[in-house]
Amino acid sequence: MLGPSGNGRSSATAALIREAMDRYPDHPRAVLVCDAGAGAPRVEEDQSLPVLFCKLSDSASEPAQPKGVSDAYQTIFGVMNKIGARACAVIASEFQQLTPQFLDRLFWPVLGMDFDLVAPRYTRGRWEGLINRSILSPLARALYGKHIHNPLGPDFGFSTKLMRAILRQGASTRNGSAVSPVASIVSAAVGLGLQICETEMGIRHRPPTDWGNLSALLTQILGPVFLDMEINAPIWQRVRGSSMVPTFGTLEQAPSQGTVDTGRLMDSFQLGAANLQDVWSLVLPPKTVLEIRKISRLPPQQFRIPDDLWVGIVYDFALAHRLRTINRDHLLRSFTPLYLGWIASYALEVSNAEQTVVERRLEQLALAYEAGKVYLLSRWRWPDRFNP
């Protein structure tokens, strides 16, 4: 488990895991790894199974944040590798969501069906997981050819083979930057030709978006993803098209949600268009900068960011990150007004739409990422020839 874990909570989790393991004919042995916070590493023998308490993240990084999650994954994989684990499930969801069925959804495809990666598929309201929906999921699909709805999880099931591959990749660095094990999960699985599936995990409860900290969050998420793109370019450059992966379970009905303040989002986009022209001109082609300027002047009822424009922006930022066109932190922070503009455009389109219409809209965006991959390949291979 990621995040603080008291003795009572770890005991309850151990009992749930034991109950899940007892469903298997061979009753596999299990070890629970919990965060000890600032405490010393220790092992406690629970009534159900051994519990290992260790420091899962740096004290300066909260376990629930991307940096803390990445550190925790690295630690857990190291522990599992040392004890020779046959499979590993990393659980970052709230403790209240844990049931034997929840755990079984991550364990069974690995232990019972020889899958190497079990990726989660959550039931989300239309305003939840928008970084994932607008960038991470369609980008991973276009790059690696697999329809994976949550490529950064964070709840996953792993085989030993995949864990060891991620550990090896995590030990390397590129330009002094450590590879994030979370960002490398899908690329490692695809690069090795491993078996991937998804499992329905139900509703994942998350705290409301911290809009005041959005730039930092985007930096923490996109930085490792763009670095992984750079390191694994030989893999994704060979991939053409995409395919669905086996999915287990039944998708629950999405919860109803309120509205989004599109006016505030458009204001942030317009402010960025007014103040970040010099920065964006170093990253984006002149035609794209011109289109952004035009959109910023549209009345609210006409405000839209076309899919091909949005996809080109994401790809151009990934390339600028690779080329270090400007300081990487400044680069990713300058992306925030563009992302807020996309949310406003999306919200204006789907606010009153049925869930099936929302899903079709997101599928259309994913297809645009796939169609735009030709542009990405051209700019990636010959950046000088396409220098804006």
CA dihedral sign, ordered 369, 371, 372, 378: positive
State residue 1's pLDDT score.
47
Cβ–Cβ < 8 Å for 144, 190: yes
Ramachandran sector of residue 252 (left: φ over 0; alpha: ψ -120 to 50; beta: rest): beta
State residue 59's pLDDT score.
41
For residue 4, list its beta bridge partners.
Answer: 35
CA distance 380 to 361: 28
Q: Does the pLDDT at position 61 exceed 70?
A: no
Residue range 172-228, pLDDT digits in tens? 555 555 678 899 999 999 999 999 999 999 888 776 677 778 999 999 999 999 999
CB-based burial label for 38 (10 Å; 0-12, 13-18, 19+): exposed
Ramachandran sector of residue 249 (left: φ over 0; alpha: ψ -120 to 50; beta: rest): left
State residue 281's pLDDT score.
96
State residue 20's pLDDT score.
85
Q: Which position has the higher pLDDT, 135 or 35?
A: 135
**Contact residues for 371 (Cβ-Cβ < 8 A; gap 6+):** 308, 311
Q: Mean pLDDT, the chain, as a whole number?
A: 87
State residue 63's pLDDT score.
43
CA distance 360 to 345: 16
Residue range 74-127, pLDDT digits in tens? 888 888 888 888 899 988 887 777 888 889 999 999 999 999 999 999 998 888
Domain annotation for the chain: domains and CATH numbers? 7-248 (3.90.550), 262-386 (no CATH)
Of 61-75, 102-116, 297-311, the one with minimum mean pLDDT is 61-75
